[in-house]
C-alpha cells in the first residue's frame, strides 16, 4: 500500500510539472514591442454603429511610457472636422465619436497552447465615467477573423491579473494589453477627464522541474519510512 501511495504521489507531481511547463506569465514591460489599434464608433446617442478600425501608433491612442510607468489618457484627435467633434473642433467642443484604443503586445506561436496570465499594477486612476479601461488577453485566428478573449476591468488601484487558456495552434496570434474606451476629447480639455497609470510586476517565483522532482523523491521516501 505504501508503494502504491508513493507511486500515485509521484504521478501527481509529474502531472503538476507538465502543467507548470505549459504556463506563461507576462507583464507590462516598457521594452516590449507595443502596438496600437483604434476602433471608432458613433456615440450611443447617435446609434452607436461601428465606423472603422485601423492601426494607430501607441502615442496616438494616447498611451505612453515614462520609464516603467504606462499612462493611458483619453484619445484626442487633432482634427476640427465635425466628423470628430460636435460643431467642429476647438476648446470646449464635445467629442463626436466613441474611441476604443487598444495598446498591446502580440506574439505568434510562442504563447499558444498555454495558460497565459497577464499581470500588472494600477498605480492611479482618475478617469471619469466618460472613460474605462480593461486589461485583456486575446487569442486570434491566423487571419484575425475571430478571437477568444479574457478581460478584467481596471478601476481601483492595486494588482490585477487576467488568465486565458490559449488554443494549441502555433499559427494563432496572442495579444495582451489594455483597451481604453470613451469619447474623444479636444487636446486642451483632457485634464478634467483624468488618466490611468500602470506598471509591471515581477513574475511570481516558481519551482523548477528539478525542484519539483526532488519534492516527489522526498515525499516518496517519507511514505516508505
How distant, in Å, are the alpha carbons of 17, 35, 116 from that of 48?
48, 25, 33
Q: pTM of the full predicted structure?
A: 0.81
Report the alpha-carbon distance of residue 102 to residue 176 in Å, rounded. Answer: 10
Which residue is it, cell 523548477?
208
DSSP string, 10-29: HHHHHHHHHHHTTEEEE---
Report the alpha-carbon distance of residue 155 to residue 63 in Å, rounded. Answer: 17
**Residue 108 CB coordination number (10 Å):** 14
Return the beta strands (E) in the chain as ranges.
23-26, 34-42, 50-55, 63-66, 69-72, 97-108, 115-125, 131-140, 147-154, 158-165, 173-183, 196-199
Cα Dmax for the chain? 83
Report the alpha-carbon distance of residue 90 to residue 14 in Å, rounded. Answer: 64
**Is the alpha carbon torsion for 28, 29, 30, 36 positive or negative?**
negative
Q: Which three cell numbers stand for residue 103?
A: 495598446
Model pLDDT, residue 22: 86
The tens place of each residue's pLDDT in the chain, 225 residues long, gives: 444 434 443 444 444 444 444 899 999 999 999 999 999 999 999 999 999 999 999 999 999 999 999 999 999 999 999 999 999 989 999 999 999 999 999 999 999 999 999 999 999 999 999 999 999 999 999 999 999 999 999 999 999 999 999 999 999 999 999 999 999 999 999 999 999 999 999 755 443 443 344 444 434 444 444
Amino acid at each position: 500500500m505504501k508503494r502504491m501511495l508513493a507511486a500515485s504521489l509521484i504521478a501527481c507531481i509529474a502531472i503538476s510539472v507538465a502543467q507548470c511547463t505549459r504556463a506563461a506569465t507576462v507583464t507590462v514591460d516598457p521594452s516590449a514591442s507595443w502596438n496600437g489599434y483604434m476602433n471608432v464608433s458613433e456615440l450611443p446617442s447617435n446609434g452607436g454603429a461601428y465606423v472603422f478600425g485601423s492601426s494607430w501608433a501607441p502615442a496616438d491612442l494616447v498611451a505612453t511610457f515614462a520609464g516603467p510607468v504606462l499612462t493611458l489618457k483619453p484619445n484626442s484627435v487633432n482634427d476640427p472636422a465635425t466628423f470628430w467633434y460636435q460643431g467642429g473642433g476647438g476648446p470646449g467642443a464635445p467629442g463626436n465619436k466613441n474611441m476604443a484604443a487598444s495598446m498591446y503586445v502580440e506574439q505568434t506561436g510562442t504563447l499558444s497552447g498555454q495558460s497565459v496570465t497577464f499581470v500588472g499594477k494600477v498605480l492611479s486612476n482618475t478617469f471619469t465615467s466618460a472613460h474605462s479601461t480593461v486589461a485583456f488577453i486575446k487569442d486570434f485566428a491566423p487571419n484575425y477573423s475571430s478571437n477568444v478573449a479574457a478581460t478584467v476591468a481596471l478601476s481601483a488601484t492595486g494588482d490585477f491579473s487576467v488568465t486565458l487558456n490559449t488554443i494549441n495552434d502555433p499559427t494563432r496570434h496572442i495579444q495582451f494589453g489594455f483597451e481604453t474606451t470613451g469619447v474623444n476629447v479636444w487636446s486642451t480639455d483632457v485634464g478634467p477627464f483624468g488618466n490611468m497609470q500602470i506598471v509591471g510586476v515581477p513574475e511570481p517565483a516558481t519551482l523548477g522541474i528539478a525542484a519539483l522532482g526532488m519534492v516527489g523523491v522526498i515525499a516518496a521516501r517519507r511514505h516508505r519510512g
